Amino acid sequence: MYPCFRNATLVTAALSTLVLSAAASASPVNISVTVENLAPTSSISFAPLHIGFHKGTFDAFNNGQAATAPIISVAEGGSGAAWQPAFAAADPTATRGTIGGLLQPGQSVSQIFTVDNMLNQFFTFAAMVVPSNDFFIGNDSPTAFRLFDNAGNLLLGSIGQKASDIWDAGSEAFDPAAAAFVGNNGLRTDQNGVVSFNFTELNGFNGLTTGANYIFDSQLSASSDVYRISFQAVPEPETLPLVATALLAVLGLARRRRVEAAVR
Ligand SMILES: [Ca+2]
Ligand SMILES: [Ca+2]
């Protein structure tokens, strides 16, 4: 056999090994999560995004029912101080976290999470929308967003949110003087309502100066894109030297073929 054919066989074998190891989707995996505020300039901002990769058991709220402490801790002030412990209690093996700080229109931020992609196949999120008294984004059904299939492969590239997806927790009455980002967030009046979709009330904050020093102007209609959460698998560091070695082998083979062709 010519040397170049032998090398080609070796390179093919090396690449096959790489492809096989990638297809096996070893658990755990590193997933980069990127969040973007897609709202128009001067429109809504978002508090840090609380997230969890989980088994599909943690349900933080229900449309049409009174909000409880976990989702209220997100919707009123954004801290998630009760949401995170409730999540941990409902699903102790979940990977949880918080992404970014205040996310203004046009801004984005990424964070990497180590996830057991065989055990925790579902994704849940919640963030306060500001300015507001008790508005938030989040998934009602804990199984709405399945990220991984049974082989551990990533199923979902991104989750989009429109203005029509924004919730009113129904726990704090609308009052600009008491709204986070434009008023005194320490003040509040009980609403005694239920969780419902609501973005039109945001127009009530138009013209007010926000905590980020821009004059708020909602500009939102039901179909306005306001938020995107994107997912990308991050290659494991130990596979990178393998990839580099395989690439060098391929480059070396190509160079040798050029040399052989030149001397013929
Ligand atoms: Ca629910
Ligand atoms: Ca409210």
Tokens of 239: 């596979």
pLDDT of residue 259: 59
* 256 Cα: distance to centroid of ligand 2 (angstroms): 71
Residue 264's pLDDT band (cuts 50, 70, 90): low
CATH H-level, domain 27-235: superfamily: F-spondin domain (2.60.40.2130)
Report the candidate in 111, 121, 83 with the shortest Cα–Cα distance to residue 229.
Answer: 111
Sheet of 158-162, strand order:
108-115, 29-37, 225-234, 158-162
**Distance in Å, CA 63 to ligand 1 centroid:** 7
Query: Which token pair is 259?
Result: 């040399």
The predicted pLDDT at position 63 comes to: 98
Task: Write out pLDDT tens, residues 54-91.
Answer: 999 999 999 999 999 999 999 999 999 999 999 999 99
Query: Smallest Cα–Cα separation from 66: which of 176, 167, 145, 217?
Result: 167
Q: What is the pLDDT of residue 171?
A: 98
Examine the pLDDT at 141 and tell me if it is beyond 90.
yes
CA distance 227 to 163: 9
Share of the chain above pLDDT 90, in %: 78
In whole angstroms, give the CA distance from residue 138 to residue 124: 7
Cα of 134 vs centre of ligand 2, distance in Å, is: 5
Q: pTM of the full predicted structure?
A: 0.82
Residue 236 pLDDT class (50, 70, 90 cuts): confident
Q: How far apart are CA 90 and CA 72, in angstroms?
A: 17
Residue predicted with more confidence, 236 or 109: 109
Helices 239-263 and 3-23 cross at an angle (nearest 10°) of: 160
Model confidence at 117: pLDDT above 80: yes
Ligand 2 centre to CA of 74 (Å) is: 13
Mean pLDDT computed over every residue of the chain: 89
Question: How far apart, in whole angstroms, are the C-alpha atoms of residue 147 and residue 139?
Answer: 14
Range with the poorest average pLDDT among 8-22, 25-39, 167-181, 199-213: 8-22
| CA of 134 relative to ligand 1 center, distance in Å | 17
Inter-residue contact 228 to 160 (CB < 8 Å): yes
Residue 180 is classified by DSSP as B
